[in-house]
A and B are shown apart, each in its own frame.
Chain A
């Protein structure tokens, strides 16, 4: 399976993080929030009007904006 953007997942889909292509400050924050390559991530829901995504990593639910989720590459499982 090829890597796709996190933003392209539909709610309920799970995937494995393969790469994070964001700028340094965001990368640092994502790391601290548990976004690491190899980790399992699940899209819980998407807000209307191209709003943020609610994703779940481990026991934490996190909001990520769509354009930021585009920079996170995942492989569907």
Chain B
């Protein structure tokens, strides 16, 4: 099958074009010579199926960033039959340098000048014919977003694919050390074919930025937008999640239980409470991921994410992070899983890893459920708000501490120079495709891991078959017994230790597991907890719950996004150690003070 590689700088609408070409058929895949996965899609072009590959956006073919290396290695190991080079027409006088570098590789090329409509609005006139002549490459004006020029571009690609690639020079780097040549070439090509107005007109972007990046109003507006986003995800997400949960419960009760009733009890438990629950866990994340990325697509595609970086950078740079990390950290307060996936907008790997290390400390909505229940059971209503507020503060404090401690292990080698693209309207198609791709990615990568984890915890809490579920006689109870010397100084009881093992799967099931452990529910459980624990123990348990590993889905995501088991283990071990240290310090401190 012939291969078309999409190449271009960031913010050229390359991915929009890719989505237009491949639609929902795109998948991530591995390639020889590179470690990152690339989106690819198979499409019918003319009468042949061809494979389209979306390469990361790069500024410079001989740059030092990771993406630039990826593209170099990819081109070297997998010479494409056609390079479709996407340039942003509004920045043509700068982007031409990349095209000239690519031309030196002697690839079969077609150039698409994207955002032609926007360039026209800016008063930039481009004579594609003259430019094509000067470069000796076919050039087309295009608007990937609205589709104008798109059929012509596809036709040109089909035609170009008939020719074979001339091949590629062996010594890539040597060829590329020709800056001077490129400069004079740029001047020659631009001279006759492009006219750029001397001064940009005062457009909508400038006016919006005057408000959005206002010295005093900028930050309050940013927090306002974040708050609305957060609320919106939960306003729409919670009912959807509940709906999916109900659907799975209904399927469980109405179909699976009767169907499997003839099987032995232990096998039934394994299938229903183990495997089926694992699948249901994966499913409940689907609506929240779709919604999250619908909204993230808005923030990102409108260009606001770079503005957030501008506003928050002064503070975040001290922690070795940047403004985009902060957006993801905040979104993590809703759900850590999509926030971890969202770090993909950061192209520097070290910056991304550090952000991923920090996000799991965000107090997500599942943990909030645990805290609300325990607080209601152990604290007076008037102090409940204060307790919850203190947990939010500690969540931020753990994140900041982690960033400060670990930043020297993740020095960012990516230069921090970020483009501030003009504000644009995202298209619905783009948003929906983004949500779809992310869900596919999550389900594809995380299902096996999550199901295996849920089954493991089910086995721990239900084996041997002679023991009552979640009791001290189960494997979990035995492990809890071993761990008791470790947990005793934190005030966490053996029953609560078993609940923490459940909590490893998902915080949503912690309260449910307490109900199983004590054999009580609702008010009876509240009273039992209030009788068994004092507030110091309860707060210590909440501290541990807040800081240790958020859930199995978050671990699965950490692993699939970092592609590094060592990093995932460090994240788990660090959060467990910090949780233990904070709990023990609090418990012993409070006891020493006489509480």
Chain A interface residues toward B at CB < 8 A: 22, 24-26, 28-34, 36, 44-45, 47-52, 54, 56-65, 68
**CB pair A32 B310 closer than 8 Å:** no
**CB pair B416 A68 closer than 8 Å:** yes
Q: Provide the bound-state CA to CA distance between A51 and B318, in Å.
A: 11
Q: Any chain A CB within 8 A of the CB of B226? A: no
Which residues on the B side are within 8 Å of A32 (C-beta)?
Answer: 9, 59-60, 63, 94, 97-98
**CB pair B311 A54 closer than 8 Å:** no
Q: Provide the bound-state CA to CA distance between A24 and B578, in Å.
A: 39
Minimum Cβ distance to chain A for residue B199 (Å)? 10
**CB pair A59 B215 closer than 8 Å:** no
**CB pair B94 A26 closer than 8 Å:** no
A sample of 13 more A-B contacts (CB under 8 A), given A31-B97, A32-B94, is A25-B63, A25-B65, A28-B60, A28-B62, A31-B60, A33-B94, A49-B314, A50-B314, A52-B314, A58-B91, A58-B196, A59-B122, A64-B417
Which residues on the B side are within 8 Å of A34 (C-beta)?
Answer: 91, 93-94
**CB pair A51 B310 closer than 8 Å:** yes
Chain B interface residues toward A at CB < 8 A: 9, 59-60, 62-65, 90-91, 93-94, 97-98, 122, 124, 179, 183, 196, 200, 209, 213, 215, 218-219, 306, 309-311, 313-315, 317, 413-421
Contact flag A65-B313 (CB < 8 Å), given A33-B419, A54-B213:
yes
Q: Provide the bound-state CA to CA distance between A40 and B580, in Å.
A: 56
**CB pair A48 B215 closer than 8 Å:** yes
**CB pair B213 A45 closer than 8 Å:** yes
Which residues on the B side are within 8 Å of A25 (C-beta)?
Answer: 63-65, 413-415
Which residues on the A side are within 8 Å of B311 (C-beta)?
Answer: 47, 51
Minimum Cβ distance to chain A for residue B183 (Å)? 8
Minimum Cβ distance to chain A for residue B180 (Å)? 12
Which residues on the B side are within 8 Å of A33 (C-beta)?
Answer: 59, 94, 417, 419
Q: Provide the bound-state CA to CA distance between A64 and B200, in Å.
A: 20
| CB closest residue in chain A, given B90 | A59
Minimum Cβ distance to chain A for residue B368 (Å)? 31
Which residues on the A side are within 8 Å of B179 (C-beta)?
Answer: 31
Q: Provide the bound-state CA to CA distance between A39 and B179, in Å.
A: 16
9 contacts between A and B (CB under 8 A): A25-B413, A26-B415, A31-B60, A32-B60, A51-B310, A52-B310, A59-B90, A59-B122, A59-B124
**CB pair A29 B65 closer than 8 Å:** yes
**CB pair B313 A47 closer than 8 Å:** yes
Q: Provide the bound-state CA to CA distance between A55 and B317, in Å.
A: 19
Which residues on the B side are within 8 Å of A31 (C-beta)?
Answer: 60, 97, 179
Which residues on the B side are within 8 Å of A49 (C-beta)?
Answer: 314-315
Minimum Cβ distance to chain B for residue A73 (Å)? 17
Which residues on the A side are within 8 Å of B97 (C-beta)?
Answer: 31-32
User: What 3 A-B pairs have minimum CB-CB distances, sorted nearest first?
Assistant: A51-B314, A32-B59, A32-B60
Partner of A62, one of B215, B314, B413, B417: B417
**CB pair B196 A65 closer than 8 Å:** no
Chain B CB within 10 A, most for which of A25, A29, A45: A29
**CB pair B213 A59 closer than 8 Å:** no
